[in-house]
Structure 1
Amino acid sequence: MISWLHISDWHQKSEAARGGRETAFARKEFLEKLIQDIKDRAEGVDRSLSKLDFVVFSGDLAHSGRRAEYEAALEEFLYPVLDAADVDLDKLFVVPGNHDVDRGALVSDMDGDFQSLSQSHEMDTYREKVSAILSHRTSRGKFLRPFDGFKEVLTGDMQVSFSRYDPRYFYRRTFEADGKKVSIVCLNSSWLSGLVSDTGGRVDDYGKLAVGEIQIHDAFRNMPRSDLVIVVMHHPLSWLKGQEANRVEELICKHSQFLLHGHQHVPRVNVSRSTDGDVVIIPAGAAFQERFPMDSRHVSSYNFVSVDPAAKSGTVFLRRWNDKRLKYTSDSDIWESGRFPFVLPELDRDDHSSRRNAMHGVEVAAAPYLNRKFSKATRLKISHAMREIGGFRVVEQHTEYTRDLKAGREPNFYLESWTDPFVLIKSEACPDIVPHRHIKLLIGEEEVLPVHDGGDVLVQRELGRNPVQVYYEYESQNPVLGVDTTKLNRFTEQFVLVLNKDPGLIYDISGVGGLDILEDEVEELNDGCVRVNLKRLLYPYQGVRVSWHPKDGSY
């Protein structure tokens, strides 16, 4: 398991710059609760986060790029975060944001390179000039000078080694985590930030920024073969200029599996699927946001990410400030339980179309079930009593089947029954043998009389959009060498089986449809009673089979 902490947009201000609703008290309180939430991650969030492999900070450590802000941010914020995460400095990855720009060091709007760039209206010409600036040491240096304070703090105060890389521009590290090679590519999306203003004199960066194809090309050049590749930059792709955004997205999708960014202060997750490749895009939200933001989506937030390379899957654990509880909690406002699952994208793009077509086939097969109500919990209670009727030994079975269906429209809900052919034949010879006897069927609070509609369909109707409970109780008579198979016809988040056994029978409980029942999921409640509790998502083709036979061997 590979896990990390992703955080962004701390905006360390000087005391003189603090005002309005942002107070030193609020920042201190938020930080204390943030640190505690990070420390409590294994118990409070998920066990997979007990060991974090690295920390990503995706920009805006400072508020105005001043050295004093960085120094304060290190002592007040970054060092405590690393300590809480139990991660060393060499596993911290920081990129510059638009607030990490020292605006006093910006290039002049009369600068020749800037004038040439700003007057490039043809996208091909614009991209060529971006590449020309970034490939020329002197020209590039002018645009990176506003990040000198950012670099000095990382290389000086923090003594982070960047080898031949310049952290103001891009850098890359490859290391091992849980036996897998991880490469993290850090890019500067802010090097043109602050150079354009609107008619009111306010900075207008949206749609005017560039990463530069050459920056990405150089960052990925000679990168070792890796199991996990993560790109970090401050801005979302939508803030880049026109076709520049398309080209950067194309390159990131071709060469990486994750894009981590900050800036928008809005927590979310997006899995991008394209002809170039799949990538999981994860914004961090803002580490510190005013307590009562004008937009409720702009709340203090961050996330953890856990990836299981063997299972090709992962989870984003979304965390947000909860002002009612005065602590960080799961962000269930944007995703149920605050846990967003994803399939780990493949790095091998050579066979991407075949993999995507195969995945499409799986999705098409699942689509009919995805349009049915999910079962939050399905409970099945079976009670057995062996007896003799008309010279035949049978097993009388009392069944209670309860399904708590979640919200969602279902136009064609149906309930089916099944009768053992052996018992059906015996019932013809002995009228006292009754293969199936209805007791009660409740859909919500409404009792429904079952009507056979051909075959073994008991009831067929439309269910409303609201959550509803379906309860079905019946009795049946089965052979002493028998089996009862419950196959789910919908996605089920929890399945519980309680079996009251007859002392004269030997039982076996197993999963069907590829379902493995684990030892710790089976519990002997008392003599003759067993409970199987599956607290995980089960698929429509899966289920549980109960089989039995007499202890004395006679049938």
Structure 2
Amino acid sequence: MKSLNILHISDAHIQKKNENEIRDIAEKLIYDVLKVQSEQDIKIDLVCFTGDLIQRGDKAIRDENQMEIANEILVQPLLDKLGYEKDRFIIVPGNHEVDTSKIVKATEKGLLVSSLEEINENIIDMNKSYLERLEYFYNGLDSYYEDIIREKIGYTFIRKIHGKQIGIVCIDSSWRSSGMGTCEKGLMYVGEKQVRDLLKHIKNTDFKICMMHHPLEWLSEFESTLIEREMTKFDIVLRGHVHENDTKEICRQNMKTIYSTAGKLYPLDYAYGRKVDGYNGYSILNVNFETNLCTIFMRTYYAMQREAFDTAINVNENGKIVYPLNGNSKEKQMEFNIINGIHEYFKHMSETFSLIKEIDSYSPMTLDQVFVDPIISEESEYVKEKQGGKDLISLEELLNKKDNIIFLGKKESGKTSLLQRIGLLYIEEYENKGVIPIHIDMRQLPKKNDKLTNATLYFIMNNILDNVNINKSNIRDSISDGKFIFLIDNIDISDGMHTMMLTKFIKDNSNNRFYLAVKEEFFQSLDIKKLPNYGDSFKKLYIHFFGKAQIRELVTRWASKREDIIDINNVVEKIDGYCNQINFAKTPFNVSIFMVLWDFDKNFIPQNEGIIMQNYLEIILEKLSPKESYRSTYSFQIKQHFLSNLAYKMLQKNEYYFTKKEFDDYIYEYHKSKGYIESKSLFSVLFFEKGILSITDDLVIFSHTSVLEYYLAVYAKDNKVFVQYMLKKGNRINFHNVICFYSGLIQNCEALLDSMSETIIESIIDSIDVIDKLNKLEIMADFKLPKEELLERLNENRPTLKEIDDLSDITNKKNDVAFTEISKKNNIKIDAPKILNTETKNQSDDISEQEAENFYSLLQMYGSVLKNAELLDNKYKISHLENYMYAMNIFLGEILQVAEKCNDELSIEDLKKNLVLDDSEEILEIPTEQEFKEIKNIIMEVAKVSFPIAIQNFILENVGTPKLEMAIDDLMSMKVDKPFEKFMLVFLKCDLKIENGMSELKRYIQKEDSESILKLILIKLIFYYRMRFFGTNSKTDTYLLDLIIGIQIKLHPEENEILTKSFISNREYVRKVMARQIKKDGTGTLG
């Protein structure tokens, strides 16, 4: 059999103090090699040692003379047993061969590089002083080998084995090492010139082997891709230096070049002072020239009990891997150039991503750093999802199937980024799948015939690494062979030419796989029936907006590069809450813009609706504008004015859309009245390109209802008559979001708040007795701690952040209202004459308006305006905050009254009816009158402790801003004898996560003596803990547990005497027990 058998060893680290142990392992190695030879019926032809034969280069030939020890205990005994002379033992230097005593600091600094050009200069001008650290090693090579072929750096051998010329290139990757260990990763470089100079000596050999100590991952980023391309000219690359038992690191095949990394021979792996079975081992490569296969036998030293070498089943279940050989280096290089070239393209292909990078230097460098797997489903965003996420589809699932896919997603929902990510995944899997991803943008097709084939050719030619000619016939052959994955973006289904072109191309090339991306309108799901039939079966998948979990992942990824960010949970909550509040689309793009705002100001927290929307739109319309003329000639203020007038014109006609003709007429009249030139402003196309406006069924609309409402608020800033009309009773509820935006833009909202406070104060006066009842609230439930199972079940079933995020998505699910339905919903008909005469009204109008207005919707708007009133004097903030809290407490009291009334009306007869099963008519166990009474009492107790927490959450989302801190403090000082009102204010401050809030909370608990309020505090703290309200900060968790335990002790001091002593003596134990109890039953309190 014609074969080449290579014994691959590395990293022995031989030194005097471990001589006996290494000698023992060397003897076992030799024994095992002979054993494998016998079992596999092979004969070792070549021994390749890939560096770190010794431990210290400065003791290589002096002092310990480690090279001599290595030859005595390993090299020569091995050659003797194999029956070979020393020419069959080939070695390259490793970083441990470096004589660090010969390193000159000044020279070392001069060898640092910041570009590929500097690397090449250093290799070309290789100074003798650069190699002094390995001078002894090269001198030893010259005396050891008679046929070594030397270059300035590195060397080669040619060995004739079984009639085959074997070329061996020994690349010196250690000449740049200074013995600094892992911190050198990414700093090593070998130089493309070194590789090419060595390769020319073996270009005519039958089989080419490369040996180098460091894996490619250790090389400088400036040259790693180039060196990897040079590696495609070898059949096998042997490496060392990696000491982990990772199969991907040990052996792999890239562009048909086989990479084998030997495990270290010594030292053995230890954990906690004991030997463990790591990857101390070696490999034998059997290259069979008849079958054209290479089999790698991996061997591990099992140190724990057996102390012997055996099959490396700890690395690979079979202990071996088989790879096909491919000696066509030109073909391999062509593949490499294509794959690595388009890899760079897919890393940076998103235009939006690139534009964001231009304006924000903090933003992530590549898609990999920020991509979040989207929510993909067979159902549209506007079709009710099945619970449990069973219909959601992962990217991994997509790649492993063979269906052609059509992605439908709203503008900026991440369609292009998704195609980009799919392209990168196919590149990563190229060795396994063997297909090349091709991205085609239907907006930028070539003008020639056969546009899609030419687009494929241009895509490859424009992105290939080297300037290599690939003719059209090669591309046609590859398409015919099904070697491509087509990622086709920006398809216009209304374009008949697109449809005809795609249908023919897909039908003619159906053995390739296709992913198509189509835009879905914002206000409606694209009718599947309208999708063209592209000549093959396609699976239709929808890209949904982000949920809270995806926002968290994106923010976390974005923030990972920021050293000044400690806890991003608050930003996640605010972005999610802001989007929920104004019903703003949670697209990857929108969240990314929020992150750009955050990068500009690390204290950025989205709270003021008007200012945030203004900043968002300024980035969209100005900073992301590809043309300078957009920014300089027609300013952001002009664009704001144009869009605000457009929004108001739509409002006047009570139809929140224009026909295309109406829009064109508006543009003409606007430019004429202002003296602008449309061909220079480009307003007819700009706002559509930026996603502010959209065209649906030939109707021009605002892409988001929230953007329409914002621009109505912008219009209101300069139109007092319109403001008066919006604030009129009966109207203001219909303009809820507009008024909130407006309050954010004017900031000093005294008049705005006063206009609403009159109605709110009237309701407070009418229901003030409800607040008195709340301050006297009695909670009868007895929260006791069990003795033996004290806190035993705290953390069991505590929801994860992901589960909490998913729950938040369910409770905040909203759909944008279709533009054709807005006027119908609000029933507003506005015209200029009516607005101009708003002061003339009669008493009957007042009555009807009062009836039409929902008090608690008004209250919500009142809170939002108060939150935005940043320039309001603190005394007015206190007054309006007191009104708001009075009203919210009344709301809570009325809810409790309704609950109590419903509970009282519930009879045991009603219960009996509900306990009869329809099918079997079987009657379940009926409680006794006493048991039923106890059940009803429990229901009311649950209501008393849960409803206040729910109302507090509403208050936080509605009025929550740290800028109310002083007003909250001043108001709390006025509520000393109002325990419930103070409880609500204290936890509003805690909910806002204001600095030192927790320490103030501790003092509040210590002073509070109302048993009912303490029980409420206890439930609130358990809510904080279980719902991870403050994120995943373990220090905060510990603090919360201490407060919970403290309240338990305070509620029942006599019964908790043992707990008190335990807590004082062993706080950590009690915390753990309490955590287990809360996780298990959610209370930490029930006995």
TM-score (norm 2): 0.29
Structure 1 counterpart of 2:481: none
Match of 2:266 among 279, 288, 292: 288
Could you tell me whether the CA contact under 8 Å between 2:264 and 2:280 is conserved in 1?
yes
Find out whether 1:110 has 2:106 as its counterpart: yes
* CA–CA distance in structure 1, aligned partners of residues 332 and 260 of structure 2: 25
* CA–CA distance in structure 2, aligned partners of residues 25 and 223 of structure 1: 40
Structure 2 counterpart of 1:333: 314
Deviation at 1:182, TM superposition (A): 1.2
Could you tell me whether the CA contact under 8 Å between 1:55 and 1:87 is conserved in 2?
no
Bigger Cα Rg: 2
* CA–CA distance in structure 2, aligned partners of residues 87 and 289 of structure 1: 27
Q: Which amino acid in structure 2 is aligned with residue 287 of structure 1?
A: L
- Shift of the 78–308 alpha-carbon distance from structure 1 to 2, 3 Å rule, reads same
- Shift of the 319–96 alpha-carbon distance from structure 1 to 2, 3 Å rule, reads same
Q: Which amino acid in structure 2 is aligned with residue 312 of structure 1?
A: N
Deviation at 1:298, TM superposition (A): 3.9
Could you tell me whether the CA contact under 8 Å between 1:52 and 1:86 is conserved in 2?
no
Deviation at 1:222, TM superposition (A): 4.4
Structure 2 counterpart of 1:56: 48
Structure 2 counterpart of 1:71: 68
* CA–CA distance in structure 2, aligned partners of residues 339 and 203 of structure 1: 29
Q: Which amino acid in structure 1 is aligned with residue 52 of structure 2?
A: D
* CA–CA distance in structure 1, aligned partners of residues 38 and 10 of structure 2: 23
How does 1:185-200 map onto structure 2 within 5 Å? 185-194=169-178
Find out whether 1:129 has 2:118 as its counterpart: yes
* CA–CA distance in structure 2, aligned partners of residues 115 and 291 of structure 1: 34
Superposed CA deviations along residues 115-142 of structure 1, whole A, max 9, x for unmatched, are 3442x43x2xxx22222222235x1x21
* CA–CA distance in structure 1, aligned partners of residues 212 and 332 of structure 2: 28
Could you tell me whether the CA contact under 8 Å between 2:256 and 2:326 is conserved in 1?
yes
Superposed CA deviations along residues 242-295 of structure 1, whole A, max 9, x for unmatched, are 131111111111x1111101001235443333xxx3211100111222263579
Q: Which amino acid in structure 1 is aligned with residue 208 of structure 2?
A: V
Could you tell me whether the CA contact under 8 Å between 1:26 and 1:291 is conserved in 2?
no
* CA–CA distance in structure 2, aligned partners of residues 143 and 257 of structure 1: 30
Deviation at 1:80, TM superposition (A): 1.1
- Shift of the 354–238 alpha-carbon distance from structure 1 to 2, 3 Å rule, reads closer
Find out whether 1:144 has 2:139 as its counterpart: no
- Shift of the 28–222 alpha-carbon distance from structure 1 to 2, 3 Å rule, reads closer
- Shift of the 216–290 alpha-carbon distance from structure 1 to 2, 3 Å rule, reads same
Structure 1 counterpart of 2:200: 221
Q: Secondary structure at the match of 1:242?
A: coil
Could you tell me whether the CA contact under 8 Å between 1:315 and 1:341 is conserved in 2?
yes
Q: Which amino acid in structure 2 is aligned with residue 134 of structure 1?
A: I
Find out whether 1:180 has 2:160 as its counterpart: no
* CA–CA distance in structure 2, aligned partners of residues 353 and 185 of structure 1: 22
Structure 2 counterpart of 1:313: 293
Superposed CA deviations along residues 149-176 of structure 1, whole A, max 9, x for unmatched, are 22233333xx31244515x821112222
Deviation at 1:43, TM superposition (A): 2.5
Q: Secondary structure at the match of 1:287?
A: coil
Superposed CA deviations along residues 271-329 of structure 1, whole A, max 9, x for unmatched, are 333xxx32111001112222635795743200100011121111000011123222110
Could you tell me whether the CA contact under 8 Å between 2:168 and 2:202 is conserved in 1?
no
The two structures, once aligned, show a CA RMSD in angstroms of 2.8
Superposed CA deviations along residues 342-375 of structure 1, whole A, max 9, x for unmatched, are 1112334248779999xxxxxxxx999xxxxxxx
Q: Which amino acid in structure 1 is aligned with residue 295 of structure 2?
A: T
Q: Secondary structure at the match of 1:191?
A: coil
* CA–CA distance in structure 2, aligned partners of residues 338 and 52 of structure 1: 18
Structure 2 counterpart of 1:165: 150
Match of 2:228 among 249, 252, 268: 249
Structure 2 counterpart of 1:416: none
- Shift of the 222–12 alpha-carbon distance from structure 1 to 2, 3 Å rule, reads closer
Structure 2 counterpart of 1:12: 14
How does 1:377-396 map onto structure 2 within 5 Å? none
Q: Which amino acid in structure 2 is aligned with residue 104 of structure 1?
A: S
How does 1:527-538 map onto structure 2 within 5 Å? none
- Shift of the 99–182 alpha-carbon distance from structure 1 to 2, 3 Å rule, reads same
* CA–CA distance in structure 2, aligned partners of residues 61 and 143 of structure 1: 22
- Shift of the 58–163 alpha-carbon distance from structure 1 to 2, 3 Å rule, reads closer
* CA–CA distance in structure 2, aligned partners of residues 215 and 182 of structure 1: 19
Q: Which amino acid in structure 2 is aligned with residue 30 of structure 1?
A: I
Superposed CA deviations along residues 171-194 of structure 1, whole A, max 9, x for unmatched, are 112222222221111000011101
Deviation at 1:223, TM superposition (A): 2.6
Deviation at 1:237, TM superposition (A): 0.5
Which structure 2 residue ranges, 5 or more long, are not aligned? 339-399, 403-1087
* CA–CA distance in structure 2, aligned partners of residues 143 and 272 of structure 1: 34
Could you tell me whether the CA contact under 8 Å between 2:229 and 2:336 is conserved in 1?
no
Structure 2 counterpart of 1:300: 280
Deviation at 1:101, TM superposition (A): 0.2
Q: Which amino acid in structure 2 is aligned with residue 179 of structure 1?
A: G
- Shift of the 314–356 alpha-carbon distance from structure 1 to 2, 3 Å rule, reads farther
* CA–CA distance in structure 2, aligned partners of residues 33 and 263 of structure 1: 22
Q: Secondary structure at the match of 2:66?
A: helix
* CA–CA distance in structure 2, aligned partners of residues 298 and 143 of structure 1: 36
Find out whether 1:42 has 2:31 as its counterpart: no
Could you tell me whether the CA contact under 8 Å between 1:266 and 1:297 is conserved in 2?
no
Q: Which amino acid in structure 1 is aligned with residue 202 of structure 2?
A: M
Superposed CA deviations along residues 201-260 of structure 1, whole A, max 9, x for unmatched, are x7721110001111011101243422211100000000011131111111111x111110
* CA–CA distance in structure 2, aligned partners of residues 355 and 209 of structure 1: 22
- Shift of the 56–31 alpha-carbon distance from structure 1 to 2, 3 Å rule, reads same
Q: Which amino acid in structure 1 is aligned with residue 109 of structure 2?
A: Q
Q: Which amino acid in structure 2 is aligned with residue 101 of structure 1?
A: V
Q: Which amino acid in structure 2 is aligned with residue 133 of structure 1?
A: N
- Shift of the 303–293 alpha-carbon distance from structure 1 to 2, 3 Å rule, reads farther
Q: Which amino acid in structure 2 is aligned with residue 91 of structure 1?
A: R
* CA–CA distance in structure 1, aligned partners of residues 241 and 90 of structure 2: 16
Q: Which structure's residues are more often strand, by fraction?
A: 1
Match of 1:27 among 22, 25, 29: 22
Superposed CA deviations along residues 78-105 of structure 1, whole A, max 9, x for unmatched, are 1112222333211221000000000001
Could you tell me whether the CA contact under 8 Å between 1:212 and 1:244 is conserved in 2?
yes
Structure 2 counterpart of 1:239: 218
- Shift of the 354–211 alpha-carbon distance from structure 1 to 2, 3 Å rule, reads closer
Q: Secondary structure at the match of 2:183?
A: coil
TM-score (norm 1): 0.55
- Shift of the 352–367 alpha-carbon distance from structure 1 to 2, 3 Å rule, reads farther
Which structure 1 residue ranges, 5 or more long, are not aligned? 358-365, 369-555
Q: Secondary structure at the match of 2:12?
A: coil
* CA–CA distance in structure 1, aligned partners of residues 336 and 124 of structure 2: 37
* CA–CA distance in structure 2, aligned partners of residues 284 and 92 of structure 1: 16
Structure 2 counterpart of 1:527: none
Deviation at 1:61, TM superposition (A): 1.1
Q: Secondary structure at the match of 1:320?
A: strand
Greater RCO between the two (CA within 8 Å, min separation 6)? 1
Q: Which amino acid in structure 1 is aligned with residue 94 of structure 2?
A: G
* CA–CA distance in structure 2, aligned partners of residues 153 and 290 of structure 1: 28
